[in-house]
Structure formats: structure tokens, C-alpha cells
Amino acid sequence: MKTEFVKKEKMDKKWYIFDASGQTLGRFVSRISKILMGKHKPTYTPNIDCGDFVVVINAEKIRVTGKKLTDKIYFKHTGYIGNLKAQTLKERLEKEPEKVIIDAVWGMLPKTRLGRKMIKKLKVYRGSEHPHSAQKPIPIENLI
């Protein structure tokens, strides 16, 4: 029996919506990255973007375990000498909780052209409102 690889023209893209309220960050993000890569489909092909679109709402209500709120530090360098900026997870969740989820998902995707295509299919929003209701996203309660 031969393995059949599906062409990207035959891929059907679906939209899923996830509610982040009360979810643990790492487990939540690993499930999202699986859907973005397309590993939940039987037609998964590693060299084709066969994943689906993901909308995440209530990003500010994500939770973490242990002392990660104070111990986990995000670093950013401006490019100038001595300008290494540090921010704890607690500060980042207060200012930009969307970036916390996006950065965690990006850490689980391949760092190639294909990975950059996949991360563009992730839409993260702070509240429960989102502008993608026209795509009729499928709500996911029980995560894969």
C-alpha cells in the first residue's frame, strides 16, 4: 500500500475557537500547536501547511502553575549596547496576555518558512469578543 500525500489545494481549512479561561498555559498551547501544524488530521503531511485556523479568546484568564509568575522572565534586546529588557510573566500577563500565548505557541512550531505560515493562522484576543464570527469557528470544549 502506498502512502498518499495530499496536495495543498485539496486541504480544507477549518476554524476552531478555544476559550483560555482556567486552562494551564503549557498544556493549552501544545494542543493549539498540534492543530496549527495539522497533526490532528489523518492527512498530515510534514512539508505542507495542512493545519487549521485557531482563535483564542479570554487570553488574560490563562493560568500557570508553581512560581512561574515571578520566576519566568522574558528577555528582549533593543539592539543598542546595554539595552537588554527583562519582563516577568506576571508583568507580561497584565500588559499583553496575547503575546504570552503567541510566544508559547511559536516555541512549539518549526522555525522555518512553514512555521512562520502556521503562526499567522493563530488569532489571540483578550476578551470574549472576536471579529471572526463570519468564519463560523467550531468551539472546542474538550481539547484534543
Per-10-residue mean pLDDT of the chain, 144 residues long, equals: 80 94 95 96 89 96 96 95 96 96 97 96 96 94 60
The DSSP secondary-structure symbol of 50 reads -
User: Domain count of the chain?
Assistant: 1
Query: Which residue range(s) make up the domain with 25?
Result: 12-140
Q: Is residue 5 part of a domain?
A: no
Q: Radius of gyration (Cα) for the chain, nearest Å?
A: 17
Per-residue pLDDT at 11: 83
Q: Is residue 121 part of a domain?
A: yes
Q: Is residue 4 part of a domain?
A: no
Grid look-up 492527512 returns 43
Per-residue pLDDT at 143: 54
Q: What phi and psi values does residue 49 have, to the nearest 5 degrees?
A: -75, 90
